């Protein structure tokens, strides 16, 4: 159903078009002059305007010009009893969609209106897709001006249009899933499906069926055939989140599916062929997973054709103000609160904080602050207590007249901090690295450098 505005100084023509268009299922508003039509356009949106050209006061051509200013998305069909080639050309020059001459047959009007609305629907759909693309590429994680994020922007735009497999790495909360969606939205597969699966959230005995589907009777509970996500994503993008959590036994089948673009359903005997682009993400160090036998080397190299590394928020402190204002506007709008500013002291606290939870944690902090703030400005009092307490300065070593061995002093202090972090993290290296505000790779390097690689550590921890 379309919303149509009919403008004609003849009441009989208004009634004729109103009855005809309402029978076609449209909502129709009639006006006897261009002035009435302009008032209607100021108060409502119309998909289509059908207007006489010659009317007292403002003509149909003048009305057309005003419609383009007031409502650029409204298509206009002009009708006149004084038709000529010249007036038709003039109407088209002014931006009319089409031009009819009285008397118009019912079939002629139906055909022109139908084609105009088809164009209108297509235009609306294109605008929706453009807005969707803008929303998907104007992501909060991509906000910022830091050099490291500029590299990410550039790489994402470079790789999006290819069919190359992408591995997105980074700590939890850095926005790996959002980058995957941005790559899909910028690719030539954007009109195809984007299918995401968390390899760590599905039980091992169900993940194979989830990815590849199954045939009826292949196992207890398989009461019908089921499509797998590889098939659902055909023609689009399959996003394997937390790919480092994938069971070793399943990795062989995934490798074959990626290499050959074919696979067999669970319990099936025939090959299924698909055209799928693979994007993966992990917060694990897959090189270490490979060296420790938890991830297949051949699958790692197949997935890691191009790596997009998302830096933790502590490495892009200069982006925090822009992210803060983005989340402030977003949450203030959603919570219907008139909060437009953040006090410099509150912003300074956020810039000093290490953000172990990265961008996701920052968004949660701003949502909390917006919820608690009663004025138009976020103050430090609306932030968690952990941010209000400055970390204690590192102890200073005394310098004697004989001097000190600075390297040994720093190494001893670094060793103490590493051991303490491991103890507080229960021996889980990844958690210990987060406590110290450094990357997991950096933490491992420091342990190895100081000969502490086995100092009370158990594993790297599961992804969170």
Q: Tell me which of 1.20.950.20, 1.10.287.610, 1.10.10.60, 3.40.50.300 is the CATH number of domain 406-449.
A: 1.10.10.60
Q: Which two tokens stand for residue 286?
A: 């897959």
CB neighbour list of residue 116: distance below 8 Å, 6 or more residues apart? 48, 75, 77, 97, 98
**183 alpha carbon, distance to own chain's centre:** 9
Q: Tell me which of 3.90.1280.10, 2.170.150.20, 3.40.50.2300, 3.30.70.20 is the CATH number of domain 3-131.
A: 3.40.50.2300
**What average pLDDT score do residues 24-47 get?**
90
214: nearest Cα among 254, 263, 266: 266
**What average pLDDT score do residues 288-302 get?**
93
Distance CA 253, CA 262 (A): 10
**pLDDT at position 70 over 70:** yes
Q: Roughly how many angstroms between the first and final C-alpha of the chain, as a whole number?
A: 48
Q: Is the dihedral of CA 33, 35, 36, 42 positive or negative?
A: positive
Residues of each domain in the chain carrying CATH 3.40.50.2300: 3-131
* Confidence at residue 7, expressed as pLDDT on a 0 to 100 scale: 94
**pLDDT at position 456 over 80:** no
Q: Which two tokens stand for residue 329?
A: 């506007």
**pLDDT at position 390 over 60:** no
Q: Which two tokens stand for residue 371?
A: 């919820």
Assign 65 a pLDDT band (cuts: 50, 70, 90). Answer: confident
pLDDT-wise least confident of 164-173, 322-331, 444-453: 444-453
Distance CA 430, CA 241 (A): 18
pTM: 0.57
Tens digit of pLDDT for each residue in 239-265?
A: 999 999 999 999 999 999 999 999 988
6/405: higher pLDDT: 6
The alpha carbon torsion through 265, 268, 273, 276 (nearest 10 deg) reads 0
Instruction: Return the CATH fold of 315-388.
Output: Helicase, Ruva Protein; domain 3 (1.10.8)
Most confident of 113-127, 134-148, 203-217, 449-463: 203-217
CB neighbour list of residue 157: distance below 8 Å, 6 or more residues apart? 186
**pLDDT at position 464 over 70:** no
Q: What is the CATH number of domain 140-311?
A: 3.40.50.300
* Confidence at residue 85, expressed as pLDDT on a 0 to 100 scale: 61
Residues of each domain in the chain carrying CATH 1.10.8.60: 315-388
Residues of each domain in the chain carrying CATH 1.10.10.60: 406-449
Assign 48 a pLDDT band (cuts: 50, 70, 90). Answer: very high
Residue keyed to tokens 């109103």:
18
């Amino acid at each position: 159903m379309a919303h149509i505005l009919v403008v004609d100084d003849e009441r009989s023509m208004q009634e004729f078009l109103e009855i005809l268009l309402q029978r076609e299922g449209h909502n129709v508003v009639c006006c006897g002059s261009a002035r009435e039509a302009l008032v209607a356009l100021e108060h409502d949106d119309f998909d289509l305007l059908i207007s006489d050209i010659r009317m007292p006061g403002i003509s149909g051509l003048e009305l057309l010009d005003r419609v383009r200013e007031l409502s650029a998305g409204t298509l206009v069909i002009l009708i006149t009893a004084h038709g000529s080639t010249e007036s038709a050309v003039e109407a088209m020059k002014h931006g009319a969609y089409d031009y009819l001459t009285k008397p118009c047959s019912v079939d002629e009007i139906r055909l022109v209106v139908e084609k105009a609305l088809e164009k209108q629907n297509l235009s609306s759909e294109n605008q929706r897709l453009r807005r969707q693309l803008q929303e998907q590429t104007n992501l909060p994680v991509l906000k910022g001006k830091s050099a490291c994020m500029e590299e990410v922007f550039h790489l994402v735009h470079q790789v999006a249009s290819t069919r190359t497999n992408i591995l997105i790495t980074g700590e939890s909360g850095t926005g790996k899933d959002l980058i995957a969606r941005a790559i899909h939205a910028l690719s030539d597969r954007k009109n195809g499906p984007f299918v995401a699966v968390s390899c760590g959230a599905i039980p091992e005995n169900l993940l194979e069926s989830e990815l590849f589907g199954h045939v009826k009777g292949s196992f207890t509970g398989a009461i019908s055939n089921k499509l797998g996500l590889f098939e659902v994503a055909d023609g689009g993008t399959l996003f394997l989140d937390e790919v480092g959590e994938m069971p070793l036994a399943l990795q062989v089948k995934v490798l074959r599916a990626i290499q050959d673009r074919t696979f067999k359903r669970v319990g099936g005997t025939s090959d299924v062929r698909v055209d799928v682009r693979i994007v993966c993400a992990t917060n694990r160090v897959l090189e270490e997973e490979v060296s420790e036998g938890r991830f297949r080397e051949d699958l790692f190299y197949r997935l890691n054709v191009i790596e997009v590394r998302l830096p933790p928020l502590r490495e892009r402190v200069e982006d925090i103000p822009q992210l803060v204002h983005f989340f402030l506007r977003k949450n203030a709008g959603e919570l219907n609160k008139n909060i437009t500013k953040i006090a410099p002291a509150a912003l300074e606290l956020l810039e000093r904080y290490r953000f172990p939870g990265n961008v996701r944690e920052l968004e949660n902090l701003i949502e909390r602050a917006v919820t608690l703030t009663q004025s138009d400005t976020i103050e430090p009092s609306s932030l968690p207590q952990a941010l209000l307490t400055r970390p204690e300065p590192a102890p200073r070593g005394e310098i004697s007249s004989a001097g000190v061995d600075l390297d040994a002093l720093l190494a001893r202090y670094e060793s103490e901090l590493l051991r303490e972090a491991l103890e507080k993290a229960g021996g889980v290296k990844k958690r210990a690295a987060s406590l110290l505000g450094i990357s997991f790779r950096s933490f491992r390097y420091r342990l190895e450098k100081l000969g502490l690689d086995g100092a009370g550590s158990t594993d790297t921890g599961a992804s969170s």
